[in-house]
Amino acid sequence: MKEVVRAVGLSKRYGRRSVLGNVDLSLREAEIVGLIGANGAGKTTLLRILLGLVRPTTGVVEWRGGNCAPPPDRAGHFGGAHTLPPDVAARRWARLLSRGREICDDRRPVRALSRGSRQLLGLSAELSRSEPDAFLFDEPWEGLDPDGSRWLSQTLRRRRENGCAFLVSSHRLHDLAGLCDRYAFLLEGRVVMQAADQISGQTVRGDDLLAAFDVIRYAP
Amino acid sequence: MSRLSALHFFAAVARPPAALTVVFTILFAVGATLEAVNRGSSDWVLASIAAVQLFAASTGFTRHATRGYYDPVLIGRRRSHVALAHFAVSAAPGVLAWLGCGAAQAVAAGSADVPALRPCGWVTLLLVSAIPWAASVRTAPFLGGTLWLLLSIALVAAGKVLGPLGRLHVQPAWASEHPVRAFALGLAFPAAIPSFGWPPAVLFAFAATGAAAVAMGALGISRSELPLAEEGA
């Protein structure tokens, strides 16, 4: 499978605070990579560097074609319910992102929606787009009810079959388990990548991910 | 599937507050009515539109962008294009009100040679749109307009503005004799620019200042780091 995006030697410092250090990561066509890390490990920063919204202190990002940012409209991103503009009507946001398709008929402003509804609105608007070949999602299961969680997992699988690549950061290991082809463990600013079959010979479960996370975390 | 238009996006997400749009609508209605009743009586409405535009165009960029609100339009786009679209949307309500008043003046006068549509009107519109917008790109919304208005009030209170404006009124050649002071006077009190005659060099300096402000704002957006605000960076 061809690489959609590759990051080599990424580091990021804010003043004296180091957020990322020497991170290598790749995302290939038709795969889902789960990004796992503790709070403050730099997952959001890493996603925003890959998207060209934050400049790395060192290192390079290469999207398909050699650009340091994704080609226009070829990458989708959703950073969570809090990143939706609160004063825009839900219906208008959905139409805007889905380029005019009617995927939501709620005329209330985003701020009037519950957290779960906002999360679902942002995800469904992004995933209704057909042109991106890569999606970078930050905590996409956050706030979703069981039906929403199932819909999201099924949609990711379906889009993967069509060749889409996903980089998905999440704390919810049981949602990532069994879904991802590879896992990227972000620990103290560095990334350790493992294929699913390295973690478990069977279908990966949440406990397997937790065990793998602990092994990497406490490895000498 | 069509590409997401930055103009379309900002028109939905980054419009100036509705209250300011209502004020512009009222000012346009007052201006048009005054021109219909008494030709040439709406100059003060232009000055009011310019004053309100100081705030309306100060929409702010980075504060919203670091909350992730603009992510869909920033990813994979040239920031300079995004910046120009943001400027256009920020300035649009004031520009429309100004053009509406200009049209009313032109209809009443039977000519396009009216204050709103003369070069001095266009440069006023550019200045009061571009400088507050650029000043608020990396700061808080309304900050650019607030600072400019406070500066104007302070200069008026200090007696630095009304005297020169009076001289300009009775002696239009004063601006040609003192172009630098005339330029500073216009910048200090832009709402008065359409009411006076200005030499071409000063008008050019106003236009260049406005264009430089747009360029500075676009540069500020192009160079901005946009981590999410919650990252504490």
**B228 contacts A79? CB cut-off 8 A:** yes
Domain ranges of chain B: 3-223
Query: pLDDT, tens digit, for every residue of B23-57?
Result: 999 999 999 999 999 988 888 999 999 999 999 99
Query: pLDDT, tens digit, for every residue of A140-183?
Result: 999 999 999 999 999 999 999 999 999 999 988 888 988 999 99
**Residue A220's pLDDT band (cuts 50, 70, 90):** low
User: Which residues share a beta bridge with A184?
Assistant: A35, A193
**A74 contacts B227? CB cut-off 8 A:** no
Q: How distant is the alpha carbon of residue A94 from its chain centre? A: 20
Q: Which candidate, B202, B170, B208, places its Cα nearest to that of B185?
A: B202
B227 part of contact set with chain A, CB < 8 Å? yes
Query: pLDDT, tens digit, for every residue of A4-59?
Result: 999 999 999 988 889 998 899 999 999 999 999 888 889 999 999 999 999 999 99
Residues of B with Cβ-Cβ distance to A14 under 8 angstroms: 227, 232-233
Please, which residues have CB within 8 angstroms of residue B215's CB and are 6 or more apart in sequence? none
B4 part of contact set with chain A, CB < 8 Å? yes
**B1 contacts A75? CB cut-off 8 A:** no
**A88 contacts B227? CB cut-off 8 A:** no
Phi/psi at B27 (5° precision): -60, -40
B5 part of contact set with chain A, CB < 8 Å? no
A75 part of contact set with chain B, CB < 8 Å? yes
Question: Which of A54, A73, A88 is nearest residue B226 as measured by Cβ atoms?
Answer: A54
Torsion on CA atoms A86, A90, A92, A96, rounded to nearest 10: 90
Please, which residues have CB within 8 angstroms of residue B44's CB and are 6 or more apart in sequence? none
Interface mutation vs chain B, best among A12, A19, A51, A73, most B CBs within 10 Å: A73
Which residue in chain A has the smallest CA separation from B1? A99
Q: Which amino acid is at A65?
A: G
Query: pLDDT, tens digit, for every residue of B87-116?
Result: 999 999 999 999 999 999 999 999 999 999
Question: Which of A45, A82, A130 is nearest residue B231 as measured by Cβ atoms?
Answer: A45
Interface mutation vs chain B, best among A96, A101, A137, A167, most B CBs within 10 Å: A96
pLDDT at A203: 80
pLDDT at B2: 65
**A83 contacts B68? CB cut-off 8 A:** yes
**B74 contacts A53? CB cut-off 8 A:** yes
* Mean pLDDT in residue range B159-174: 86
**Residue B232's pLDDT band (cuts 50, 70, 90):** very low
Asked if the model's pLDDT at residue B132 lies above 90, the reply is yes
Instruction: Check: CB of residue A197 under 8 Å from CB of residue A208.
Output: no
**Residue A209's pLDDT band (cuts 50, 70, 90):** confident
**B230 contacts A129? CB cut-off 8 A:** no
A109 part of contact set with chain B, CB < 8 Å? no
